[in-house]
Amino acid sequence: ETGVTQTPRHLVMGMTNKKSLKCEQHLGHNAMYWYKQSAKKPLELMFVYNFKEQTENNSVPSRFSPECPNSSHLFLHLHTLQPEDSALYLCASSQAGNYEQYFGPGTRLTVT
Amino acid sequence: RKEVEQDPGPFNVPEGATVAFNCTYSNSASQSFFWYRQDCRKEPKLLMSVYSSGNEDGRFTAQLNRASQYISLLIRDSKLSDSATYLCVVKGSPRISGAGSYQLTFGKGTKLSVIP
């Protein structure tokens, strides 16, 4: 059991829907991350939050909107997605300055 | 050149075999290196860090060659439970601005299947 949980585990949404992914870490970390993992591609870093402040937006389209209300929770708000956004979305956390990241189980997203 | 490059495999090996994976990275300024393991439909998990002098953890040995910019992972006496995808991970390239020290760049992974 990892200390990082994600909900929902699976999500199917239409291109006009709005949904949110939730991530929670119970490890006392102060950095959180969103990654996208598509088939045949490496993990792509999307967003980084350190101490609740967004420190990196890796050229992610605006249809993905992150929110970090506190060091333990991270959301990814989704709207007007495209079929090519279908992927596994992974949340991770770490101590700031520590490269070891702990991943959640991911949300498998399908956009129809 | 891709930032982190790995042979995707699959590597199909019998139980008890020794198998080695290599990984190359493009940024010569990279300082930290890791191997993560990802089981099918699961999240990645840290397997081991890679130190300049090389390091060993049980059946697993990791080595770093800075001059050639490659990292290796050797698995001895393969077990069925070793079947997974092995991800080579490098501290993010400085060209990715922001909290660079927190960013990891992942390879696509090498798939290993250990066969009975």
Tens-digit pLDDT profile for residues B15-61: 999 999 999 999 888 888 999 999 998 999 999 999 888 899 999 99
Measure in Å the smallest separation between the Cα of B36 and chain A Cα atoms: 10
CB contact under 8 A, B102 and A99: yes
CA distance B36 to B44: 6
Q: Is B102 on the interface with A (CB under 8 A)?
A: yes
User: Would you say residue A53 has pLDDT above 80?
Assistant: no
Q: What torsion do the CA atoms of B89, B93, B98, B103 make, to the nearest 10 degrees?
A: 0
**Amino acid at residue number B105:** T
- Of residues B99 and A18, the one with the higher pLDDT is A18
> What residues in B contact A103, CB-CB < 8 Å?
43-45
CB contact under 8 A, A55 and B98: yes
Q: Is B95 on the interface with A (CB under 8 A)?
A: no
For B50-82, the pLDDT digits (tens) are 988 889 999 999 999 999 999 999 999 999 999
**pLDDT recorded at residue B53:** 83
CB contact under 8 A, A55 and B45: no
Measure in Å the smallest separation between the Cα of A98 and chain B Cα atoms: 7
Pairing label, strands B84-91, B110-115:
antiparallel
DSSP tag of A84: G
**pLDDT recorded at residue B1:** 63
Residue B33: closest C-alpha in chain A: A99
Q: Are A94 and A31 in contact (CB under 8 A)?
A: yes
**Amino acid at residue number B18:** T
Q: How far apart are the first and last CA of chain B?
A: 37
Confidence bin at B102 (pLDDT 50/70/90): low
For A76-111, the pLDDT digits (tens) are 999 999 999 999 999 999 987 667 889 999 999 999
CA distance B52 to B32: 9
**pLDDT recorded at residue A41:** 87
Residue B112 C-alpha from the chain's centroid = 12
What is the number of alpha carbons within 13 Å of residue B65 lying toward its C-beta? Answer: 10
**Percent of chain A whose pLDDT exceeds 90:** 70
